[in-house]
Amino acid sequence: MNKKWKMTLPTLALLTAVACGGEEATETENGEVDENGEETNEETNEGTSDDVETGEADTEVQATGDEDVVLDFWIHQTGEDETNFYIERIDAFNDAHEDIHVDTEIIIDDGASAYSDSINAALVAGELPDVMAIDGPYTASFADADVIQSIDEYISDEDREDFVDSIIQQGTYDGSLYTLGAMEGSVSLFYNKDIFEEEGIDVPTSVDEAWDWDEFKDVAEQLTTDERYGLNKFWNYGIGEYMTFSGAPFVWSNGGALIAEDGSTADGYLNGPEAVEAFEYIQSLFDAGVVSNSPGEMQFEEGNAAMALGGPWIAISAEDADLNWGMMPYPVKDEPVSPSGSMAYGMTTNSEHPEEAYELMAWMTNAESTEGLAEVTGMPPARESAFENMERFEELPWSVMKEQVTETARARPATPAYPVLTDAFAEIYNAASLDQDLQQVADQQVERVERELQRFAD
Amino acid sequence: MSQKKRVFSKTKEAREAATGYIFLAPALILLSIFLLYPMGVMFYYSFTDFYILTPDDRSFIGLDNFRGIIDDAQFRQAFWNTVYFTVIVVPVQMAVALGLALLVNKKLKGRTFFRTAYFSPVVMSLVVVSILWTFMYNPSEGLINELLSIVGIPEQPFLTSPDQAMNSIIAMSVWQGAGFQMMIFLAGLQNIPDHLYEAADIDGASTWQKFLHVTIPGLRNISLFIFITITIAAFKLLVQPMIMTQGGPLGSTKSLVYHIYEVGFNYRDVGYASAMAVVFTVIVLIVAIIQRKLASEERG
């Protein structure tokens, strides 16, 4: 949904021509690369288009007789540059491995369910590829159903050490590691430097100095005028995954959780006092009128909001809009926590070549892929070594994001009931913008999570 | 002789029947593949615990899914949302369509332009229309609130308020769909013979009386057709809330079909979604039967 909101009118005109199926293609042509690889686009909402195969990637087939292993590999299509980068890396893999050939299929990801529809269809037909990209927080549901297999026996200790904790956490279910991603996601507090200078407000420059909730709200109130909001929380992205991705740290920082540690129940967690207090804090921001529940597309970039709690792609759009912007850490209550997660790779249980499949996974998430992807997309890398090698993260503003990813990032809960849990969270989170009794809303939403959890109880 | 003739006519009949079936075949085959077979599968799945991620350990669980529907708050909410949408959209859209048809039936200059203009939303993709209206409904930057502010009405949270969201979707849906029924009404209007109006004129009937006693009865059959098709289409509400509100806020725009879709594809619970789809089919069937009953009574 996020993407749909981001579309400009010319895009819409094109859309009219291509009807529903072509949304992603249009988006790609738009070159909005950096929003695309991110969490917000995946599974955030229910889409309208069917899965469309964009055809095979041009992977320089070298039909020598030596290639005895053929791997099927599914990746999701996002921004043009990002997809091209994947194809480049796959080509390089094929060149480097004479005995393995990778057949890549690039599957439309319309920011809604097109990609997962393809996976669902292949699952039922028993035609899953050897390796596929999946949305990080969905690791648990695939692992629980034995769709993907553990990579514990394949991954080297060095690699395990080098991935940031949140990526390992995201890929782990029931004590075993299943997925690896090359890209991380994060949300930080962007601010309009001109406005801050005018008002003479000092900003924290590292996660240790992060504002607490009260300071955050005070500044937001101070910066709210008749003409502008103090804060943009991107409510225009809709009720979906972005809310869980970007909002869950409010609950965690307050000592709460979305679900019990053992995943058995959400009752007393998602509707527990810590969680509800966090939701009520968000509500207080709306009550104070510092944030809008229907911000315009470019509210922050156009100076109509002084701060924006958003993903790395905001840096790019702010840059494009010639905004004098800076970055602060995610606000904190007790424990410093920040959002995490992105697309990851998993190898399926029906792969006949697990060793080669892992080799491909490892290649797509190795240092070179990780750094290159971070370069192309503007997203943070998933490896500590990549952070060390990239100068951009050495100093402000990006050092803030590096600190967040390496120190405070926390993955969303690993539960097979995640699809329902994330919808429930988003529904309560969104209710914070309405005049609602949040405890009551949370109780109602917990009911449906409990229903879903019964399926996995045995 | 007569014997022979009978034989001859029998084979002719048989041959004609065969020809008929051959002509029917493409439609029947397509209907079977894309309608009857999926319906059968849906019916079967509704008695299983089919979960997409584990297609192989699917087992028969009897009526459990249907029992689950009874205390499913989400289903209930979606049901009443759908009923509300239908009950409002059907009369409003019919009235608007009839009004537009009457307008463009007048011998005015540029009526072809207006006919095209009123019809144009129908040919646009519902997805595109939904996105456009989302922009128009935006409280701070949207066209509609901009217009309202000129006459001094404060910003309306069209899509973000649980009280207004469904009504906003209804308004947009009427705008999008009415053009189609307008065309059908227009055809109906042009089929009403002029002499009936002339006779009414001679009897000294007013414009309103002519509308009530000539136009309305003349449109009866067409109205029934439109009534039934709008009702069924309204029950199938899906795209607008999916694009514009994601079923929110607080589930106030979640329709039945949307709920079924979400459970089946996002939550991967095909068994339960199928059970809800069966219930949905039965509901639509009952409504259609009632409408047909009413229709035939009216005719008789």
Interchain pair A120, B52: CB under 8 A: yes
Stretch (H or E) spanning B115: helix B111-123
Q: Which amino acid is at A157?
A: D
Torsion angle of the four alpha carbons A308, A310, A315, A317, in this order, in degrees rounded to the nearest 10: -80
Chain B hits for A457, Cβ within 8 Å: none
Which residues of chain B have a CB within 8 Å of the CB of A5?
134
**What whole-number distance in Å separates Cα of residue A396 and Cα of residue A108?**
35
- In the DSSP assignment, the letter for residue B194 is H
Question: Measured between CB atoms, which of A117, A146, A434 is closest to B265?
Answer: A117
How far does A101 lie from chain B, in Å, by closest CA?
Answer: 28
What is the rounded CA–CA span in Å between residue A346 and residue A131? 6
CA–CA dist B298, A355 (Å, integer): 73
Identify the sign of the CA torsion A117, A118, A121, A122.
negative
Distance CA A224, CA A243 (A): 23
Task: Give backbone dihedrals phi and psi of A291, rounded to 5 degrees, phi first.
Answer: -140, 145
Q: Which residues of A touch B157 (CB under 8 A)?
A: 293-294
Interface residue of A294, A418, A434, A447 to substitute, partner B, most B CBs within 10 Å: A294
The predicted structure's pLDDT at residue A120: 87
Task: List the A343-347 sheet strands across, edge first.
Answer: A53-56, A100-108, A69-77, A131-135, A343-347
- What tens digit of pLDDT does each residue of A101-142 get? 999 999 887 766 778 888 888 988 889 999 999 999 999 999
Residue B21: both structure tokens together: 């079936």
Nearest C-alpha in A relative to B134 = A5
- Give the CA radius of gyration of chain A: 21
Identify from B61, B128, B133, B253 which residue to disrupt to test chain A contact, counting A C-beta atoms within 10 A and taking the largest count: B128
pLDDT tens digits for B180-226? 999 999 999 999 999 999 999 999 889 899 999 999 999 988 998 89
Check CB contact under 8 Å for B140 and A295. yes
What pLDDT is stored for residue A8 in this prediction? Answer: 35
Strands A53-56 and A100-108, sheet pairing: antiparallel
What pLDDT is attached to residue B156? 87
CA gyration radius for chain B?
Answer: 25
The H-or-E segment that residue A172 falls in is strand A172-173
Average pLDDT over residues B237-250: 92
**Assigned CATH class of A188-339+417-455:** alpha beta
Q: Nearest Cβ partner of B266 from A23, A46, A293?
A: A46
What is the distance between the terminal CA atoms of chain A, rounded to a whole angstrom?
Answer: 35
Dist. CA B7–CA A353, nearest whole Å: 69
pLDDT band at B7 (very low <50, low <70, confident <90, very high): low
pLDDT single digits (tens) B123-180: 999 999 999 999 999 887 789 988 998 998 888 889 989 999 999 999 999 999 999 9
Say which amino acid occupies B47: F
Among the listed residues A158, A162, A157, A155, the one whose alpha carbon sits nearest the alpha carbon of residue A177: A155
Determine contact, residues B76/B229, Cβ cutoff 8 Å.
no
Contact B258 A448 (CB under 8 A): no
User: Position A242: which residue type?
Assistant: Y
Per-residue pLDDT band for B6 (boundaries 50, 70, 90) equals low
* Minimum Cα–Cα distance from A298: chain B residue: B141
pLDDT digits (tens, 9 = 90+) for A431-454: 999 989 999 999 999 999 999 999
CA distances from A26 to A37, A39, A106, B184, B233 (A): 16, 20, 15, 35, 29
What pLDDT does A92 receive? Answer: 95
Give the confidence band of B4 by pLDDT, cuts at 50, 70, 90: low
Judged by CB atoms closer than 8 Å, whether chains meet at B124 and A16 is answered as yes
What pLDDT sits at residue A438? 96
Residues of chain A in contact with residue B54, where contact means CB-CB under 8 angstroms, are 145-146
What residue ranges do the domains of chain A occupy? 2-184+342-408, 188-339+417-455
pLDDT class for A297, splitting at 50, 70, 90?
A: confident
- Interface contact B269-A455, CB threshold 8 A: yes
8 Å CB contact between A370 and A381: yes
- For strands A69-77 and A131-135, give the pairing: parallel
Within an 8 Å CB–CB cutoff, is residue B207 touching chain A? no
CATH number of the domain located at residue range(s) B64-299 in this protein: 1.10.3720.10
Rounded to 5 degrees, φ, ψ at A189 are: -95, 105
pLDDT in tens, A49-86: 444 444 444 444 444 545 589 999 999 888 888 999 99
pLDDT of residue A456: 86
DSSP string for A227-275: S-EEEE--GGG-SSHHHHHHHHHHHHHTT--SS-TTSS--TTTTTSHHH
Supply the DSSP symbol for A154: T
**Per-chain mean pLDDT for chain B:** 90
What's the pLDDT band for A30 if we cut at 50, 70, 90? very low
- Quick check: B75 and A448 in contact, CB under 8 A? no
- Under an 8 A CB cutoff, do B250 and A141 touch? no
Q: Is B245 in the A-facing interface, judged by CB distances under 8 Å?
A: yes
Residue A433 with chain B: CB contacts under 8 Å: 160, 249
Concatenating the DSSP letter of every residue in A78-114 gives -SHHHHHHHHHHHHHHHHH-TTEEEEEEEEE--SSSH
CB atoms within 10 A of CB B239: 20
The pLDDT tens digits of the residues spanning A315-346 come to 999 999 999 999 999 999 999 999 999 999 99
Pick the residue with more confidence: A310 or A52?
A310
The 10s digit of each residue's pLDDT in B17-44 is 899 999 999 999 999 999 999 999 999 9
Which amino acid, B296?
S
Per-residue pLDDT tens digits for B90-114: 999 999 999 999 999 888 888 889 8
Q: Give me the helices (H) in B192-253, please.
A: 194-202, 207-210, 216-218, 220-235, 239-244
In the chain, the amino acid numbered A230 is: G
Model pLDDT for residues A141-198, shown as the tens digit of each residue: 999 999 999 999 999 999 999 999 999 999 999 999 999 999 999 999 999 999 999 9
Residues B201-211 as b or e (16 or more Cβ within 10 Å = b): eeeebeeeebe
Per cent of chain B over pLDDT 70 is 96
Least confident segment among A2-11, A60-69, A375-384, B57-66 = A2-11
Q: What is residue B106's predicted lDDT score, i.e. its pLDDT?
A: 85
Number of A–B residue contacts, CB under 8 Å: 115
B239 touches A: beta carbon within 8 Å:
yes
Shortest alpha-carbon distance between residue B30 and chain A (Å):
20
Q: Contact at 8 Å (CB) between B265 and B285? A: no
Alpha carbon dihedral A162, A166, A168, A169, in 10-degree steps, equals 160
The mean of the pLDDT values for chain A is: 86
Q: In which element (H, E) is residue B114 found?
A: helix B111-123
Which of A389, A387, A390 lies closest to A405 in space, CA to CA?
A387
Percent of chain A whose predicted confidence (pLDDT) is above 90: 75
Is A20 a residue whose pLDDT tops 50?
no
Top CATH class of A2-184+342-408 equals alpha beta
ipTM of the complex as predicted: 0.84
Q: Which two tokens stand for residue B64?
A: 């459990």
Q: Does B253 touch chain A (CB under 8 A)?
A: no
User: Is the pLDDT at A21 greater than 60, yes or no?
Assistant: no
Is residue B243 within 8 angstroms of chain A, CB to CB?
yes
The answer for A 8-47 residues in CB contact with B (under 8 A) is 12, 15-16, 19-20, 23, 43, 45-47
Of B52, B248, B267, the CB nearest to A239: B248
Each domain of chain B, given as residue ranges in start order, spans: 1-32, 64-299
Structure tokens at B164: 């207004």
